[in-house]
A = this chain, B = another copy of it.
Amino acid sequence: MAAFSKILVAQGGGPTVVINQSLAGVALEARKHAGIGQVYGALHGVRGIVNEDFVDLSRESAETLEAVAATPSSALGSTRDKPDEKYCQAIFRSLKAHGIGCFLYIGGNDSSDTVRIVAEQARAENYALRCLHIPKTIDNDLMANDHTPGFPSAARFIAQAFMGADLDNRSLPGVYLGVVMGRHAGFLTAASTLARTAAGDGPHLIYVPERAFDFDAFLSSVKANMDRHGRCVIAVSEGIADANHTPIATKLATHVEKDPHGNVELGGGALADLLTKQIKEKLGLKRVRGDTFGYVQRSFFGCVSDVDQREARAVGKMAVRYAVAGDRDGSVAIVRRPGPVYGVDHPLVALTEIAGKTRTMPDAFIAASGNDVTDAFRDYLMPLLGRDVPVPGRLKNDMVPKILQE
């Protein structure tokens, strides 16, 4: 018998293509527990709590919840708000008024920090509120997790995008540069390397925020690849920075936009345009193309990892089970089991292990050159991509002997 009868669940931060799996996991698991009468969903995260914008998820059919689970982006809406003490008092007023005993927040490290603040506030006010964080982020930058829900599907999108971009670049050779999301962690950019399935395949160069970006070294690596392959495919994190930690994207910007968490906005095509311009001017190359992958990498409807779907569902389910059975607040983590067969566990970890902290790529995942990944990274990522990842077919290309040019 649960110690509470009403759960409130919300979704915060940037959406993913599996964040609704976690929502469905919460709503469907709650139905199995005696005593849980209702699951409310707050619209647009913590802002919806303050505004009492609640929907009753108990009135949604299992069929609807399954359809929503398979749909990208936060079905309840999201927010970038980060509550301070006053904001939290407004949250409590609302939770108390509606008799909520369990608060579940699906989000990244900013959202986990929100859960931590709300949980502390609840304790300070002696309000019985079970507070659990359910992880999600395509950046894969949460501490205490092997990986985070949303990352495997975004990684799969990036791998399939670079497979196609590399085949395109093979057919019309030149330089192709793709800018991938990732402010501080290069995991998603590094996922582009799973596009390589044959000798000479790109991406040939990988730039992540974990290594200082140097223009001269960059240009000489591009030139070396052009000399070797006659073409060069490059994956770059939006967050690459120089040795002084100045983001390359902001070096030539006239106006720097910040979100409510103080994060510099790295969107737009400026970084790709800056880098391709440098390559054209400094190396004298003509066919140089730059793309910025933008929102499609976190929201495209039709590219998902089934492993990611299952795990995103599982962390939602487990949050309800921990809330019912336990007496601890925390975050439901994904921890990989040791051994050759892929499997994960979902321990509950302390919110302070996650909140406000950022995990970056371990050194063992980054090649000594600083512009590639290691086999260890590829071994780490491969099982996360799920079933039926496409593999390019290739002609064997039996050359016909030349006659005129013999």
A289 to B296, Cβ gap below 8 A?
A: no
Contact check, B395 vs A168: say whether CB atoms are below 8 A apart.
no
A244 is an interface residue with CB less than 8 A from chain B: no
Given A268-B269, A269-B272, A295-B291: A55 and B400 interface contact (C-beta under 8 Å): yes
Q: Which of A66-110 contact B (CB under 8 A)?
A: 66-80, 93-94, 97-98
Q: Which residue of B lies closest to A93 (CB)?
A: B404
**A74 to B299, alpha carbons, bound, how many Å?**
28
Q: Is the Cβ of A393 less than 8 Å from the Cβ of B168? A: no
Q: List the B residue with the shortest CB-CB distance to A289.
A: B267
Contact B394 A79 (CB under 8 A): no
Q: Does A160 contact B (CB under 8 A)?
A: yes
Q: Number of copies of this chain in the oligomer? A: 2
The reply to whether B295 and A269 form a contact with Cβ atoms under 8 Å apart is no
CA distance in complex: A279, B283 (Å)? 35
Which of the listed residues A161, A299, A392 has the most CB atoms from chain B within 10 Å of its own CB?
A: A299
- Interface flag for A345 (CB, 8 Å): no
Q: Which of A121-129, A170-178, A317-325 faces chain B?
A: A170-178
Residues of B within 8 A of A176 (CB): 295
List B contacts of A77 (CB < 8 A). 170-172
Known: A167-B299, A402-B52. A69 touches B393 (CB 8 A): yes
CB distance from A328 to the nearest CB of B (A): 28
One of A56-64, A112-120, A215-223, A308-316 contacting the partner: A56-64
Q: How far does the alpha carbon of A264 sit from the alpha carbon of B394 in the complex, in Å? A: 33
Interface residues of A in 384-403 (CB under 8 A from B): 390, 392-400, 402-403
A80 touches B302 (CB 8 A): no
Whether the pair A76, B395 counts as a contact (CB closer than 8 A) is: yes
Of B78, B270, B299, which is within 8 A of A269 by CB?
Answer: B270
Residue of B72, B171, B295, B393 near A78 (CB, 8 A) is B171
Chain B residues with Cβ below 8 Å from A268 are: 269, 272-273, 276, 290
In the complex, the answer to whether B54 meets A399 with C-beta atoms within 8 Å is: yes
- With a cutoff of 8 Å between Cβ atoms, the chain B residues found around residue A404 in the complex are 52, 93-94, 97
Residue contact B296 to A395, C-beta cutoff 8 Å = no
Q: Which residues of the other chain, B, contact A395 by a CB distance below 8 angstroms?
A: 41, 55, 57, 60, 64, 68, 75-76
Q: Which residues of B contact A303 (CB under 8 A)?
A: 302-303
Which residues of B sit under 8 angstroms from A396, Cβ to Cβ? 59-60, 64
Give the chain B neighbours of A381 by CB distance below 8 A.
Answer: none
Name A1-37 residues within 8 Å CB distance of B.
11, 14-15, 17, 20
- Contact partners of A94 in chain B: CB under 8 A: 404
Q: Which 3 A-B pairs have the closest CB atoms?
A: A269-B269, A67-B393, A291-B294
Task: Give 16 A-B pairs besides A67-B394, A301-B392 with Cβ atoms closer than 8 angstroms.
Answer: A15-B171, A15-B172, A53-B399, A55-B395, A55-B397, A68-B393, A71-B167, A73-B164, A79-B172, A80-B172, A94-B404, A97-B404, A165-B296, A167-B301, A268-B269, A269-B273
